[in-house]
A = this chain, B = another copy of it.
Amino acid sequence: MPTKSKIIYTLTDEAPALATASLLPIIRTFASSADIEVDLSDISLAARILAAFPERLTEEQRVEDGLAFLGDLAKDPDANIIKLPNISASVPQLRAAITELQEQGYDVPEYIENAQTDEEKEAKSRYAGILGSAVNPVLRQGNSDRRAPAAVKAFARKHPHSMGKWSKSSRSHADYMRGGDFFSSEQSVTMPEATDVRIEFVPNGGQPVLKKELSLEKGEVLDSMFMSAKALDAFFEDTLQDCKEAGVMWSLHVKATMMKVSHPIVFGHAVRVFYREVFDKYGELFEQLGVNPNNGMSSVYEKIKSLPQSTQDEIEEAIHACYEHRPEMAMVDSVKGITNLHIPSDVIVDASMPAMIRNSGQMWGRDGKQKDTKAVMPESTYARIYQEMINFCKTNGAFDPTTMGSVPNVGLMAMKAEEYGSHDKTFEIQADGTMRVVKADGTVLMQHEVEKGDIWRACQTKDAAIRDWVKLAVNRSRQSDTPAIFWLDQERAHDLELTKKVKEYLKEHDTEGLDITIMSYNEAIRVSMERLIRGLDTISVTGNVLRDYLTDLFPIMELGTSAKMLSIVPMLAGGGMYETGAGGSAPKHVQQVMQENHLRWDSLGEFLALGVSLEELGIKKGNVRAKVLATALDKATERLLENGKSPSRKAGELDNRGSHFYLALYWAQEVAAQAEDADLAAEFKPLADALTQNEQTIVDELNAVQGKPAELDGYYHANLDTVFKVMCPSTTFNKILDDFKK
C-alpha cells in the first residue's frame, strides 16, 4: 500500500461552494479506495473574516486560518491543492458578509472606510488583507502549466465550435514597429553574484536622479529597454496612412490592464496621433480640464461635459472631422459607437487577436459589418507571432478543431518574472537624458539615451524561477510524451541570457528520448502550427507574456475558449496547485438555488483539476490506484460531455447534483472496466452495478427536490450541514456511496 496521501480541496464561496457539497462525498468515496484523504480548507470570504478576529470570538466560533494554512502548505513539497474560484471581495461584498456574520452572532467589527479610532484602524487594516485579489498571490508559488485535458479535447473534436473561414485573399495582417521599440533597445545582464543596483535618470547636463533601488539575487537576469515616443508616433501615423491607402480597417491591440504602466501610455499616443488635429487645437484646454488620453477618448467626452454646449459641439465636430481623413477604425460596439480608442481596457491583445483570427481575420466596422483589418501592435517582440498565424491561416485556411492537435504551455511565471513584474520599474521619461542601471560600486550595467516621452522599463527574472521552469518543461515533455519547444529569440538580449541558463539547466535532467529544442518565436509558432494541422501536439515553453498570450491563442482555436484549459501551478517547493474554471463565483446561480433549488454550476473545471491532482499523487507517491482513478476520471468526464450530462439551465432538469451522479456512475464503470489494477476493478464492480441499476431512481430523487425554494441558513456563511443536506438529497445515492466505503 502506498503512503497515505492528502488532497486539499478549497471551500470557497457561492456557487462553487454549493457544488463542492455535492461533489465532495463522491470524490472522498472514490479517493478512499486509493488511500487518499480529501480535506476541506475553508478560504471563503466569511472564513477569512472570522480568522482575522479570533480574539472577538468564542472558542467554538473560532476557525482555522485556511489561507495561512494553504500559504504554509504551498511551501510543502507534498502540497496537493485543488483551488476553486473564490470571491475577490469588493467593499460592498465585504460589508454584506460582515453583517451576515454579525446576525449569526459573530462579533466581528464594522469595516469603516474613514477609520478614526485605533480599533477602527486596526480592523480596517485586517480587512485590507481580505479585500480584493487576496488569495491567488498567496497560492501561486510557481510556474505555470496549462493544457487542454484529453476529455475536453476529445469533446471539441466531436463537437467543434464555429470557426470563420479564411480567404486566401484576406488583407488582414499584424503590423508592428521595425525599430525604436522595446525589442530593438533591449539589454540584459545576468548577475554573477547577489547585487544591489539603482536605476537612475541623468538629465542631459544634470545630476543623476534615483528612480528605484533593487536587490538582485545571484543568477538573476535584469533587462532594460525603452520605446521611443517619436518612433511610436511615426509608426502610428504610418499605419494610419497605410490603412487609408490600402482601404483596410485600423485597430489597436495592447494590454493596458496587465501592462498597467506602459500600455496606457502607448494607448494614449495612439489616441493623440489618430485625433491629431483635435489635440493640436484643444490640447491646452484639455489639459486644464484634466483630459487624459491614456484613458482613451472616453476621457475627452467625459471631461468636456463641463463646457458650454456650443464648445462641446465644436470639439465633437473636430473629432468627427478626423474620421473624414483617417481610415475606418475597428469598433468595440458599433451600435453604441464605441471605437477601438474609446477605453484602453476594451481591446486586450491576448483575447482580441485570437477572436479576430477565429473570425476570418476580421473585426467589426462602424456599419456593424466585419472587415479585413490591420491589427496594430507597436511592440514587435510578441506581435510577430500573430502575423505568423495570420499568414498561416491565409495559406492553410482556418484551423479545424475536429482534427487539430494541441499546444499546451509551460510558462515562466514564478516570482513576478519578466515584463509582468516590471510595473514598479517602468517610467515615462520627463526630459532628454540617460537612463541607467548602476551597481552599488558605481559600475554602469546598462544605459540608454532617452528622450522626453520615451517609455523606459526594467524587468527581473529570478534564477530559481528559470531553473524550475526548465524542470517543469522536461517533466511535462516526459509525462505527455510530447515534443517541447523553448520559445527563445536569439536576436533578443533577454532570451540570449535565458538560453544560456536553459542549456545549463537542461543538463540537470534526464532528457534521453525527449524532443526538446530551442527556437525563435517565429520558428516555434510555425513548427507548432505545422504540427497542429497534422493533429500533433507541441508544448510551448515560454516566458511570462507569451504564456499569457498563447494560453488564450491556441485554446481559442482548439476549444473555442480558454476557460476549459487545465491550469496547474507546480509550486517551486514541489507541491502542486490545480486551479479550476475561469472567472467568478456565479452569485446568480446561488439565487436560482434559493428560489427553485436548481444549481447550474459547471463543475468541469473541478473534474479536470481532480484528474491531474490524482495523476500527480499517483506519480509522486507511486500510487498506482491514484493513476488508475485519474485515467478513469478523464474517461468519465469525456463520456459526461459526450452524453450531454452537464447541468441544464432549467429547474426540474438535470442540475449540478445530477451531473455529479453521472460523473460517479461513469467513473465507477470506467474503474470497474479497466485492466491495469484488477483488484481495484473488482472493488468497484459492485459500486458500478449499484449506480447503473439505480440510475433512474437516483435521478428522479435528485430532480424531485427542485422547483421550490432551498434554505441554506446563510449566504456568505451558510450552515455547512444544511448545505450538504440540500446538495445531497438522494438517499439511494447516499447509501450506495456509504456502503462502498464500508
Contact = CB atoms under 8 A, between A and B. Distances in A.
Contacts of A169: 171, 173, 242-243, 246-248, 372, 374
Contacts of A374: 168-169
A627 to B, nearest CB: 35
A249 to B, nearest CB: 10
Interface range on chain A (Cβ under 8 Å from partner): 20 to 34
Interface in A468-490: none
A391 interface: yes
Nearest to A239: B168
Contacts of A387: 395
Interface string A353-382: 000000000000000000010100000000
Nearest to A395: B387
A168, A173, A175, A530: which has the most chain B beta carbons within 10 Å? Answer: A168
A165 to B, nearest CB: 11
A169, A171, A246, A395: which has the most chain B beta carbons within 10 Å? Answer: A169
A732 to B, nearest CB: 55
Contacts of A402: none
Nearest to A522: B530
A717 interface: no
Contacts of A292: none
A167 interface: yes
A184 interface: no
Interface string A372-409: 10100000000000010001001100000000000000
Contacts of A645: none
A170 interface: yes
A526 interface: yes
Interface in A156-185: 167-171, 173, 175
Nearest to A387: B395
B168 A170 contact: no
A374 B527 CA distance: 26
Contacts of A246: 167-169
A168 B377 CA distance: 14
A383 to B, nearest CB: 11
B170 A171 contact: yes
B242 A173 contact: no
A456 to B, nearest CB: 27
A243 B169 CA distance: 8
A390 to B, nearest CB: 9
Interface in A589-606: none
Contacts of A170: 171
B372 A173 contact: no
Contacts of A394: 173, 391
Contacts of A530: 522
A152 B246 CA distance: 36
A242 B243 CA distance: 24
Contacts of A526: 523, 526
A602 to B, nearest CB: 38
A530 B169 CA distance: 24
A224 B515 CA distance: 34
Nearest to A526: B526
24 contacts: A167-B242, A167-B245, A167-B246, A168-B173, A168-B175, A168-B242, A168-B246, A168-B374, A169-B171, A169-B242, A169-B243, A169-B246, A169-B247, A169-B372, A169-B374, A170-B171, A173-B394, A173-B395, A387-B395, A391-B391, A391-B395, A522-B530, A523-B527, A526-B526
Interface of A: 167-171, 173, 175, 242-243, 245-248, 372, 374, 387, 391, 394-395, 522-523, 526-527, 530
Given A168-B173, A170-B171, 20 more contacts: A167-B242, A167-B245, A167-B246, A168-B175, A168-B242, A168-B246, A169-B171, A169-B173, A169-B242, A169-B243, A169-B246, A169-B247, A169-B248, A169-B372, A169-B374, A173-B394, A387-B395, A391-B391, A391-B395, A523-B527
The 3 closest A-B pairs by CB, nearest first: A169-B246, A169-B171, A391-B391
